[in-house]
Amino acid sequence: MSVQQFTRIDPEQNVRRWYTIYCGPTLFGDWGIVRSWGRIGSNQSQHLTQQFPTAAEARAEVESQTQRRLKRGYTIRT
């Protein structure tokens, strides 16, 4: 299972967000991605789950979402 975490903090625009992508196999033999996001410091968050028939398709979606987050000003958390 792989996990990527992102943050975007911009005090001038009052933006404090986090975003996480989990990717791994499911119990049924396919692959799944769980995306979670919300405001830093908030108790509320949102989640989206997607399933893919192969690991390659799941990894391609993770890469697509990673590039999308980086274009929107997020940085990768280590």
In the chain, domain spans: 2-76
What pLDDT digit, counting tens, does each position of 16-75 carry?
Answer: 999 999 999 999 899 999 999 999 999 999 999 999 999 999 999 999 999 999 999 999
pTM here is 0.88
pLDDT at position 41, please? 94
2-76 maps to which CATH number?
3.10.450
For the chain, report the end-to-end CA distance as a whole number of angstroms.
16
Is the pLDDT assigned to residue 78 strictly greater than 80?
no
| CA gap 71, 28 in Å, rounded | 34
